[in-house]
Amino acid sequence: MSFKNKTAIVTGAGQGIGLEICSKLAQKGANVILNDLDETLADKAVQKVIDAGGASCIAFSGDAGEPGFIQRMVDTAVSRFGQLDIVIANAGITLFGDFFTYTPEAFFRVMQVNLGGTFFLAQAAANQMKKQASGGSLLFTSSVTGHQAHKDLAAYGMSKAALEMLAKNLVIELSQFKINVNTIAPGATLTERTMDDPEYAATWSRITPMGRAATVTDIADTALFLVSEKAKHITGQSLVVDGGWTCISPSPF
């Protein structure tokens, strides 16, 4: 899969899955806009992409849940590289909490970033892509928690399920402009954040049918396929990458 002369935006990419996606896109020829809320983390991530062989990657730090910032990011991609071909709405926050005491502040922050950020990034990107004869590809990061209930993740799970419905709905809006839109739903994945829990890898290896948690490479490889020319006739779909966990869904607790 070549992404030569393609321009991509990836949000929430300072580390983990987003960073791996950026690295792979840049290695395959794409011009990459790497976003993260943390400016220092974004700058370090860009250097990691370049060190890994990526030819073109720039940092664009800021809040991916804020519509004004989102539009500036899209405008920058176009002014810098001439067009926008791929957008991966990967930014999201996970705020665990008991349903009975979950605060409005936590609820609305999850919705602002996970839903609002994705919706308005898709809107801004699609408005640009429909001007281009070549169209483009959108990919949203969902989660297995949008398919199966997980303790203390009511708000997060509903936000991820909603993203999958958004992708289906946008098929009606975007197909005529040669824009396809899909979601990827990772299961347990080994990242800097999850590995803070010393039991994480062992627990998820035990309850995942394939015998291990996913790596960021597992998720990134799937993401690259869904935004490649090989997947242009796939739209409105959600692809679960979880080693089979959602088929049996044992609790980690």
- Residue 14 in 3-state DSSP? coil
* Active-site hit among 56, 156, 159, 200: 156
Q: Which of 177, 183, 192 is nearest to 235 (CA)?
A: 183
Q: What are phi and psi of 2, to 5 degrees?
A: -100, 140
Angle (CA) 250-251-253 rounded to 5° is: 145
- Element spanning 41, H or E: helix 39-51
Q: Which of 211, 240, 36 is nearest to 145 (CA)?
A: 240
| 238 catalytic residue (yes or no) | no
| 160 catalytic residue (yes or no) | yes
* Active-site hit among 159, 160, 228, 238: 160
What is the per-residue DSSP string for 161-218? HHHHHHHHHHHHHHGGGTEEEEEEEE-SEE-TTGGGSTTHHHHHHHHSTTSSPEEHHH
Question: Which residue, chain included where needed, has tokens 């990061």?
Answer: 141
Report the phi/psi class of residue 249: left, alpha or beta, with left for phi > 0 and alpha for psi in -120 to 50.
left
| 23 catalytic residue (yes or no) | no
* Active-site hit among 56, 137, 143, 238: 143
Question: Which residue, chain included where needed, has tokens 């590995």?
Answer: 195
* Active-site hit among 142, 159, 228, 238: 142
Q: Among all residues, which ones are annotated catalytic?
A: 142-143, 156, 160
